[in-house]
A and B are shown apart, each in its own frame.
Chain A
């Protein structure tokens, strides 16, 4: 506990120094606020526009969470098929790399054209960029079971379903969480990218991505900073939620929180 406290204290001191330098350079060099707002101005923007900020935050969070959850479900299902059929795995797994390498920014307009504007389109973009790491990690987890363990199960006349439930699925859990950790970080990027193209997903209100565009157009740079902070916070929130569940499920038996993958 003590070293952790010290670490937090160090981080707080560094943050305070950075904020002071930021504020001081604005006073010294007379930077106009539309180029770089002062930390105080950003703090003020956060407090005065908190309801707007919270709304945008929640809209983006909803799209990112929907996309991520759908990607987890689909990724696991696809991994189960890949684990069951080496033929399909060899045929189709290379395409998941394609899924990962296609720049989402390049295909976002296409997806919006097909799926229309709105929550669904933004969640779909999130889903697409989250899917590949989940498929890859879950598949790896399902197929990397010690062959001796499979034989042990066979020795005791285990059914395929028992081997799946009692061996492959629990074994794949650390791998699945690795995939979820990677995807949780990019889910927020996906949602914001989607919103940059999709515009407002609700009448009169938009997610963080939409609001960033709007704030930029209005030269509300202090609010833009507040939105960037909110987006960062959302990313952290996703990441730590996954970390929490990973700890909850694995800390008792798994040697390290991060398996090699």
Chain B
């Protein structure tokens, strides 16, 4: 018995208005992600990137259209979806280990499962040595790693990331990008990733969705045909440069506000 595979994420004519009488924030978005895809959303402020993520997370209601996360509405897919926020949003009164175990605790997993999973994730993100530290003792990059580990603790199939590395310096950001791809090799999760950085989007994604503002809509979709696994060396390659340039110029075409060339 063969049925067509259910897409990991399916958006059909997704429209969102915050105020019924005003123009929509997002207008008729159609997008389908297959399992294991890494899709970045890029566009200027006001194009509804973050709103789109919140809709997929089921944190905001839709105005019209349909969102299905591997076949079910977002509210029913929470157990297999994780959200990574722009700031690390850690609980400052919890240690690194107990921040990572938060989601498992909330979902009422048994203590030994929580302990094992936490230890595995601490090791995975290389933070075992600071497991008992509090967030205020960590660097920006370390905090983001904790945030990532917390999101991965529930073994999500879909990861929604809202500019997770925007607050980091460029070198740390590059390193976190490499680490994110390395982690994904082991987890095979699907990612919807919001960013302002074209180079970050090219490095990470299998597809880049360019959004235009007022109302938020899809302007272009750029496939990034660079093979995985990708390493830091990719940034030196001419294909990478070409894709960054192509994406940047498309972005400039769609929004005249974005006058500064990338890098």
Chain A residues near B (Cβ < 8 Å): 146, 148-149, 151-158, 162, 166-167, 170-171, 173, 252-255
Contact = CB atoms under 8 A, between A and B. Distances in A.
Contacts of B92: 253-255
B30 interface: no
B134 interface: yes
Contacts of B102: 156, 166
B78 A156 contact: yes
B135 A157 contact: no
Contacts of B54: 151
B78 A151 contact: no
Interface stretch (B31-39, B80-88, B120-128, B178-186): B80-88
B61 to A, nearest CB: 13
Interface of B: 54, 57, 59, 78-79, 81-83, 85, 87, 89, 91-94, 102-103, 105-107, 134-136, 154
B93 A173 contact: yes
A81 B208 CA distance: 47
A255 B135 CA distance: 10
B93 A253 contact: yes
Contacts, number: 55
Given A155-B78, A156-B107, A253-B134, A149 B57 contact: no
Contact of A156 (B87, B91, B94, B106): B106
Contacts of B79: 157
Contacts of A158: 106
A173 B91 CA distance: 13
B59 A170 contact: no
A59 to B, nearest CB: 38
B81 A252 contact: no
Interface centre among A157, A167, A254 (most CB of B within 10 A): A157
Contacts of A255: 92, 136
A101 B201 CA distance: 57
